Amino acid sequence: MYIDIAKEKFNKLKKEYKTKDILILGIESSCDDTSIAIVKNGRDIISMSTSSQIDIHNKFGGVVPEVASRNHLLSIDGVLDDCLEKANLKLQQIDAIAVTYGAGLVGSLMVGVNYAKALAFALEIPLIAVNHIKGHISANYLTHKELKPPFISLIVSGGHTALVKVNNYVKNTLIGSTIDDAVGECYDKVAKVMGLGYPGGVVIDKKSHDGENTIQFINHEIMPNTFDFSFSGVKTTVINYLHKLNQKGEEINVENVCTSFQTQVMNEVVEKTIKACKKFKEKKLVVGGGVSANSYLREQLISEGKENKIEVFFPEISLTGDNGAMIASEGYFQLISGEGLSDIDLTAEPNINLKVVRRKEKF
């Protein structure tokens, strides 16, 4: 039986990891990037290959799920070949396969999950199921070689906005999350209405350098006295503002809209994040997800961190978005903690959140 062989190898690797290098192949296909990487000991990227679908979805103004899964299927073989070639390694030298099984688009996830299952089965090596959000946290282990839990983590992406207390490599407590849109989703929708293309986060970020914070979009604290977020209200306010000016035929100062939107949204995120660090008396803050590339967020968290003696960590920019390396890294830390081993019946789970005990925090 596959699982008996996998279990035996998994337990052997778990015992050997202090004396032997472990190579994990990580597969990420939860949204519109097909990315595969080989990572050594959870910390060093040996090689990575990514096929982006941005140009394909740009013309639709957002990701079209059916188109995304078809393109994952078309590109995944080539991505794997390229990754192995760059590493100058053969599949037989890989110790375990880690794959994102959720959260994400079900069709896209299924491509990666089935591919990973076939590889693990054929190679008779362990298959490790990885939660995408945890992968974003682990991107930091690749950038900061000495970083270890515990810490507070802020995950900001196109699909998630969450504050998490990371107790050790595998145990987390969710302390707050968005009740509606994710922050990146909000950036993308506002950008779409302004005709700035998809994904819009990086464009708004760039344009905000040339504008001023002159338009008030948020006039009260969002979700006061909790660590939860809500972004659909501000998104609607910005979109209504844009429609109103359009109807009146008035000119829109795109740069000022970008700066005002970004400053006000990010100030809310920064304030809650610093409050969470203080409340849980954590001196380390680890940020992850596509939106962690944002220049204003980085600047503000670093400056607030300094003021409050909190050390702030971000992944290098190339590892902020979805990538196979963060999945391989997370897979490694699950392996050495004895968690995440999966059988061949692993399925895609589009709606999983963190496997955590939910604590409703008030401050």
Q: Does 294 bind Zn ion (CB under 5 A)?
A: no
Q: Which stretch binds Zn ion (CB under 5 A): 43-51, 152-160, 207-215, 339-347?
A: 152-160
Question: In the Cβ-directed half-sphere of 226, how many Cα atoms lie within 13 Å?
Answer: 13
Return d(Cα 176, Cα 226) in angstroms, integer.
7
- Smallest gap, in angstroms, from Cβ of residue 159 to ligand KG4? 4
Binding to ligand KG4, residues 276-315 (CB under 6 A): 289-291, 293-294
Host H or E run for residue 35: strand 33-40
Q: Among 157, 264, 294, 300, indicate the residue that binds Zn ion (CB under 5 A).
A: 157
157 binds ligand KG4 (CB under 6 A): yes
Residue 322 CB, shortest distance to Zn ion, in Å, is 4
Using CB under 5 A, count the residues that bind Zn ion: 2
- Asked if 237 is part of the footprint of Zn ion (rule: CB under 5 A), the reply reads no
Residues 172 to 191 in contact with ligand KG4, rule: CB under 6 A? 184, 187-188
Least Cβ distance, residue 204 to ligand KG4 (angstroms)? 6
- Neighbouring residues of 51: CB distance < 8 A, sequence distance ≥ 6: 33, 34, 35, 71, 75, 78, 79
Q: Is residue 199 involved in binding ligand KG4 (CB under 6 A)?
A: yes
Which phi and psi angles does 130 have, rounded to 5°? -120, 135
State which residue, 72 or 207, has the beta carbon closest to Zn ion: 72
Closest CA to 39 of 28, 54, 53: 28
Contact 189, 235 (CB under 8 A): yes
Q: Is 200 in the site for ligand KG4 (CB under 6 A)?
A: yes
Could you report how far apart the first and last alpha carbons of the chain are, in Å?
51
Size, binding site for ligand KG4 by CB under 6 A: 19
Identity (one letter) of the amino acid at 297? L
